[in-house]
């Protein structure tokens, strides 16, 4: 009896391993095509797109909170204010399908109204950024369980999305969106869980340079910086958001598998991101003499956040829900 059960379990394990190896090989082939696309990319310059004298970034949803009474989750949303625009950057996860969602709840606690927002900017089409699994599968997004009326507002997505009563804009290349605001355009990455197109928001802070807001960093820091260098003339001053460093482990597990580290970073299931890769990115940013850097914890471990703090000192700020970050051109 026990022998039969043991053989059955072993057979199931071997079959499961074979399936994972098969899909990892498929990922490698698809990743090669993505790399070829990247090497053949056209260069699109964004010139004279204006600037802003002030920049405020308020994390609305993230793994950590800096204000009592706010909800946290492994998702992302930021409220970004410039001199002329207020942007809702990503709309969180709502993993438990709550009403109100963590985003809606925190917005209410922080006194933020939908009427304050001019634009919704979506970094990429993963569930922890578009409001949940159901909206990811529907090719849409939502701030909560029900889609609110966004009439009169702009929405920018890296891939075609549908939303009631509005036209969701997509751009394949870097382009200006408003005075001092631009998108990097989508940069592709082939993950074990599939291909993803991720864009970042670029803000030109007068007298300082470019501040880049990143959703997850799936496009990799090296490619993101390459896109910034080739498409914008202004120097890079700061990076805020999440850069996907789930080392030694991530925040999300399914069936015992570390989803963030094994399936959504590194070079596949059997070659995940290591601390050496994190150190490479830290050294890259140090060489750039970045003036301001802020990372959230939704896809980055506390160990890595501490490592960034040790390396960048007062230039580093941990993104926490409810804690506003203001960067001025005069400081």
pLDDT tens digits for 97-139? 999 999 999 999 999 999 999 999 999 999 999 999 999 999 9
Distance CA 60, CA 38 (A): 33
Q: Taking residues 279-283, report their average pLDDT.
A: 97
Residue 15 has pLDDT above 80, yes or no: no
Residue 149 has pLDDT above 50, yes or no: yes
Q: Taking residues 240-255, report their average pLDDT.
A: 92
- What DSSP state is assigned to residue 53? S
List of residues 6+ apart from 278 with CB closer than 8 A: 245, 247, 304, 307
List of residues 6+ apart from 211 with CB closer than 8 A: 55, 202, 203, 205, 237, 238, 239, 240, 292, 327
Residue 45 has pLDDT above 80, yes or no: yes
Residue 7 has pLDDT above 60, yes or no: no
Q: pLDDT category, 256, cuts 50, 70, 90? A: confident
Question: What does the radius of gyration of the chain's CA atoms come to, in whole angstroms?
Answer: 20
Q: Are the CB atoms for 242 and 296 separated by under 8 Å?
A: yes
pLDDT of residue 9: 47
The helix-helix angle for 275-288 and 221-231 (nearest 10°) equals: 20
Average pLDDT, the chain: 92
- Domain boundaries 45-328, corresponding CATH code: 3.60.15.10
Cis bond before residue 260 (omega within 30° of 0): no
Residue 8 has pLDDT above 70, yes or no: no
Mode of pairing for the β-strands spanning 154-157 and 119-121: parallel
pLDDT of residue 70: 98
Angle at 29 between CA 122 and CA 21, to 5 degrees: 100
List of residues 6+ apart from 150 with CB closer than 8 A: 114, 120, 163, 164, 165, 166
Q: What whole-number percentage of the chain has pLDDT above 90?
A: 82
For the chain, give every domain's residue range.
Answer: 1-40, 45-328
Q: What whole-number percentage of the chain has pLDDT above 70?
A: 92
Q: Which two tokens stand for residue 204?
A: 């030109």
Q: Name beta bridge partners: 56.
A: 81, 326
Write the DSSP assignment of 71-84 as a string of letters: ---S--EEEEE-SS
Q: Which two tokens stand for residue 34?
A: 């993505």
| Cβ atoms within 10 Å of 160's Cβ, excluding its own | 10
pLDDT tens digits for 164-191? 999 999 999 999 999 999 999 999 999 9
H helices present in the chain, as ranges = 2-39, 102-109, 127-130, 133-138, 221-231, 275-288, 302-312
pLDDT tens digits for 71-99? 999 999 999 999 999 999 999 999 999 99
Q: Are the CB atoms for 250 and 299 separated by under 8 Å?
A: yes
pLDDT of residue 24: 57
Least confident of 29-33, 72-76, 296-300: 29-33
pTM for the structure as a whole: 0.92
Q: pLDDT category, 331, cuts 50, 70, 90? A: low
| Cβ atoms within 10 Å of 172's Cβ, excluding its own | 13
Determine the number of helices (DSSP H) and then strands (DSSP E) in the chain: 7, 18
Least confident of 32-41, 57-66, 173-182, 253-262: 253-262
pLDDT of residue 293: 97
pLDDT of residue 16: 43
Q: Name beta bridge partners: 169.
A: 156
């Amino acid at each position: 009896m026990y022998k039969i059960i043991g053989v059955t379990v072993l057979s199931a394990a071997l079959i499961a391993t074979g399936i994972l190896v098969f899909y990892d090989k498929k990922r490698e082939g698809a990743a090669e095509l993505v790399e070829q696309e990247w090497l053949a990319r056209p260069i699109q310059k964004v010139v004279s797109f204006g600037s802003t004298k002030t920049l405020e970034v308020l994390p609305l949803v993230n793994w950590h909170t800096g204000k009592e009474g706010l909800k946290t989750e492994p998702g992302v949303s930021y409220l970004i204010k410039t001199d002329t625009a207020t942007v809702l950057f990503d709309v969180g996860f709502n993993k438990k399908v709550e009403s109100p969602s963590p985003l809606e709840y925190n917005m209410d606690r922080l006194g933020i109204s939908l009427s304050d927002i001019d634009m919704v900017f979506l970094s990429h089409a993963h569930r922890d950024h578009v409001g949940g699994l159901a909206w990811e599968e529907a090719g849409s997004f939502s701030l909560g369980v029900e889609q609110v009326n966004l009439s009169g507002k702009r929405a920018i997505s890296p891939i075609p999305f549908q939303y009631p009563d509005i036209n969701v804009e997509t751009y394949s290349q870097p382009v200006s969106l408003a005075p001092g605001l631009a998108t990097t355009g989508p940069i592709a990455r082939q993950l074990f869980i599939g291909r993803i197109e991720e864009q970042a928001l670029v803000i030109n802070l007068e007298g300082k340079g470019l501040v880049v807001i990143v959703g997850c960093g799936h496009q990799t820091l090296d490619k993101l910086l390459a896109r910034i260098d080739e498409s914008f003339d202004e120097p890079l001053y700061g990076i805020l958001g999440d850069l996907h460093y789930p080392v030694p482990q991530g925040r999300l597990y399914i069936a015992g598998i570390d989803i963030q580290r094994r399936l959504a970073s590194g070079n596949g299931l059997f070659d995940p991101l290591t601390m050496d890769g994190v150190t490479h990115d830290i050294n890259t940013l140090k060489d750039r003499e970045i003036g301001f850097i802020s990372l959230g914890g939704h896809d980055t471990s506390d160990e890595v956040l501490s490592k960034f703090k040790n390396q960048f000192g007062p230039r580093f700020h941990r993104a926490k829900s409810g804690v506003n970050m203001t960067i001025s051109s005069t400081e």
